[in-house]
Amino acid sequence: MKPFQFRLERLKRVRSAQERAAKADFGTALSELTAAESSHQRSLERRDSAREELRHVMESGRNAGAYLAAQRVTDRFDSLVHTAKSIVSEAATAVEGKRKEWIALRSEEEGLERLRASHKAEHRRETERELSRELDEVAMSRAAANGKPVSKMPTARESVS
């Protein structure tokens, strides 16, 4: 009997390595997205606190210089929020791209695994058939050696008339 050999085993190993790398890339992109979302949240909090400070400056009636300085700070935080939001958007797009790559490679690897399993099952069935044929031949040769008549039983492949 020949041992089972999956001819696409090297391809399966390559695809498996690619899938693991894509999964790691997806994880990295996901952590970058989380970091970008945290940065965005911090910039929102800073902007809200700068707006609150601007409100206090306006209510206190301080001079125009203080008001303009507070307004510039608030505008700066607004631009930081806008930048952080665009970074989050880019990170989310990158995560989606990495996820799609990972899923495509994962489905390829699963397909190869199913193909391997079906080939292995077919190999097992063929090996069992071969062993069964060999056992039948041994039984017939022993019966013939003992002088007993061997009845010709129809096999599964032959049709019974």
Listed by start position, the domains of the chain span 9-115
Least confident of 17-26, 97-106, 113-122: 113-122
Least confident of 20-34, 46-60, 105-119, 122-136: 46-60
Mean of the pLDDT values across residues 35-43?
Answer: 95
Q: What CATH architecture is 9-115?
A: Orthogonal Bundle (1.10)
From CA 82, how far away is CA 75, in angstroms rounded? 11
Q: What is the DSSP letter of 146?
A: T
Return the higher-pLDDT residue of 53 and 81.
81
The answer to whether 15 and 112 are in contact (CB under 8 A) is yes
pLDDT at 145: 81
Mean pLDDT of the chain: 86
pLDDT score of 64 more than 80:
no
Which residue is associated with the tokens 């069935």? 125
The answer to whether 113 and 19 are in contact (CB under 8 A) is no
Mean of the pLDDT values across residues 127-146?
Answer: 88
